[in-house]
Amino acid sequence: MKARDCVCDPPLADSFQELSYKSTQAELRQHDQDCEVIAECELPMIDLRGLKSCNEEERHACVEAIAKASTEWGFFQVLNHGISRELLEEMWREQIKLFALPFEKKARSRLLNDSYRWGTPTATSLHQFSWSEAFHVPLAKISEKGSCYGEFSSLRDAMEKLAAAMSELATTLAGALAEFLGYDSRGFPESCNKSTCFLRLNHYPPCPFSAEIFGLMPHTDSDFLTILYQDQVGGLQLMKDSKWVAVKPNPDALIVNVGDLFQAWSNDVYKSVEHKVLINSKRDRYSIAYFLCPSYESTIGSCKKPSIYKDFTFGEYRKQVQDDVKITGQKIGLPRFLLQNISL
């Protein structure tokens, strides 16, 4: 199938075909290997009612379960998380209407503070390309007057409510993980607020070429915690015991995963696990992610000594990631900040 024969919005097929021509056989084989799925899994399920229990044993058991999942999986699911199904479904409907706009309007009209992204501009091979589009919106910009919503005023209302609810949940979970390691949960995470955190609205259009295409290429998250609401199409996969496993969608749960900053802060107790999204050849997939991030000036030091990593600011970390992606086409991440000398 030629790119011009495929109606794609945004024009992902053109980029896909161009990168296919440029990719070497070795790169294509690596891509195929990374798209291989060994099994389907159900993530650890945690009922968060335990965190609000008056029974100290129940509360401690819930904190312990969150920490255990963050140590062994780096991912877990939560029930009774305090975010209503009505709000999540409202946000999902608004998101679908937003992504249904013509590509030119999404790309040119400065919607949501000019936060629209598609594909992978830095990709030099098919292995580095993501078949997706997104709005990556700083929480502080959601209510800002300069953020253009046009006919989507109801989207702003839904995003404001969801951002507030996600922030509360993320702070609660981060506090529990800090508490488990003996840290005062009331002061953690530091410098994480509306000016530093993000909401990302994701859309993965169907791909006519193959189902073995990255909707989101393999990566770890450069934050403390990520909270994900996804539809039931599926496609999220994570690395478990050196194998890719597909995450079975659960309509009643939100997915939480540990980011690089929490792994560094916990001195590798909690794991920031590589994950990816594979697209569906016939169905659209939508998701909403909340990223708990500190200010760029915040120093990420270990909660225990001796530390595995040298101290670094979030700004330094982001810049190193961006530089690596620009030069190598991929993120290197935490290994750059190990105290031991490692050849990269």
Tens-digit pLDDT profile for residues 45-95? 999 999 999 999 999 999 999 999 999 999 999 999 999 999 999 999 999
Report the b/e string of 213-239 with b at 16+ CB within 10 A: bbbbbbbbbbbbbbbbbbbebbbbbbb
**Is 72 contained in some domain?**
yes
Q: Which domain holds residue 203?
A: 35-336
**Is 22 contained in some domain?**
no
Question: Which residues make Cβ contacts (< 8 Å) with residue 262, sequence separation at least 6?
Answer: 70, 174, 177, 224, 225, 270, 272
Share of the chain above pLDDT 90, in %: 66
* Confidence (pLDDT) at 96: 95
**Is 283 contained in some domain?**
yes
- If phi > 0 it is left, if psi is from -120 to 50 it is alpha, else beta; for residue 235 that is left
Spans of the chain, pLDDT less than 50 = 1-7, 341-344
**Is 8 contained in some domain?**
no
Instruction: Please state the domain count of the chain.
Output: 1
**Is 27 contained in some domain?**
no
Q: What is the CATH number of the domain that holds 281?
A: 2.60.120.330
Tens-digit pLDDT profile for residues 223-265? 999 999 999 999 999 999 989 999 999 999 999 999 999 999 9
**Is 132 contained in some domain?**
yes
**Is 14 contained in some domain?**
no
Q: pTM (2 decimals)?
A: 0.92
Report the b/e string of 282-317 with b at 16+ CB within 10 A: eeebbbbbbbbbbeeebebebeeeebbbeebebebb
The three-point CA angle 265-194-337 to 5° equals: 25
User: Where in the chain does DSSP place strands (E)?
Assistant: 39-41, 45-47, 75-79, 116-118, 133-138, 198-204, 214-219, 225-230, 236-240, 243-247, 254-258, 275-278, 285-292, 299-300, 312-313
* Confidence (pLDDT) at 57: 96
DSSP count for the chain of H helices, then E strands: 10, 15
**Is 3 contained in some domain?**
no
